[in-house]
Amino acid sequence: MVLDIIVMIKQVPDAEEIFIDPVKFTLNRSQARGVINPADENALEAALMIKDKTPAKITVITMGPPAAESALLECMGRGADRGILITDRAFAAADTYATSLTLAAAVKKIGRFDLILAGESTTDSGTGHVGPGVAEFMQADQVTYSTSVKIEGDTIIAERELEHGIEVVQTPMPALVTMLINANIPRRSSLRRRIDAMRKGIETMDHESLGLPPEWVGIKGSPTIVGSLKIPEEKKRLNKTITLEEIPEMVKELIENKAIVLGDDEDA
């Protein structure tokens, strides 16, 4: 039996290339290169580690602009078998309900799966809602905050990292697992596989091929909207540049400001 694994990824702006606009003091993401969301790389690696031991077919899906194709090719270069780009102008500004619905429709169109893997959350919005949202539509169990996952018979065994401990759970497939960032070390893509991937190409899906009415997707299909926004007041910094000799004065000021507390009763 060959396992069918779907990995859901998102392309996000590279954190290393985001900078502050020197005039407006706003974050400038426009020039940042798109990269695979870090936790999604760990999800793909978890899938590849399963495939190293068990016959498996890995399909990577992403919802995003046409440029997200490069992220899919990278995943195929690392060992995924198939890449699907879910792209449509109608998908723009989708909230987590509409995004989950669209991805669930893609999973339905793919037809079957034993395991869906996704990053726990993305670095650009970070809600962590889409994985569980898809699991709900698929009526599959979900194992969130995982650091490892392995196959045992027709079940999975996964470790979950919680606030106060590590829980090991076993649940039947089909199931959805979200992987924590840094859960494993993602492998590099091979040149040969990348060339194969480019030859093979990626598939695309839009709202029509998914059978979703346009008013169900994107901003129209989203129950939440952004009403307004405010810019938090930048905290005024003292901006004092000091030398070693001025450290006693600084320590004194920090104690007076209760930033340094002598004794340890403050957190009680």
**Of residues 10-39, those binding another protein (CB under 8 A):** 15-16, 18-20, 26-27, 29, 38
Q: Are 64 and 130 in contact (CB under 8 A)?
A: no
| Of the candidate residues 52, 127, 198, 201, the single one contacting another protein (CB under 8 A) | 127
The minimum distance between CB 155 and another protein, in angstroms, equals 9
Ramachandran quadrant class, 123 (left: phi over 0; alpha: psi -120 to 50; beta: rest) = alpha
In single-letter form, the type of residue at position 95 comes to D
Say if strands 155-162 and 19-20 run parallel, antiparallel, or are unpaired: unpaired
**Stretch of 51-59, 79-87, 162-170, 188-196 lying at the interface with another protein (CB under 8 A):** 162-170
Using alpha carbons, list the distances in angstroms from residue 49 to 73, 153, 163, 251, 263: 19, 16, 26, 51, 49
CA angle 186, 114, 156 (to 5 degrees): 70
Of 58 and 175, which CB lies nearer to another protein in the complex structure?
175
Does 167 engage in binding with another protein (CB under 8 A)?
A: yes
Binding status of residue 145 toward another protein by CB under 8 A: yes
Structure tokens that stand for 50 in this block: 């399963």
- Residue selected from 31, 89, 92, 182 as contacting another protein according to rule CB under 8 A: 182
Q: Is 125 in the site for another protein (CB under 8 A)?
A: yes
Span 224-253, contacts to another protein by CB under 8 A: 224-232, 235, 237-244, 247-252
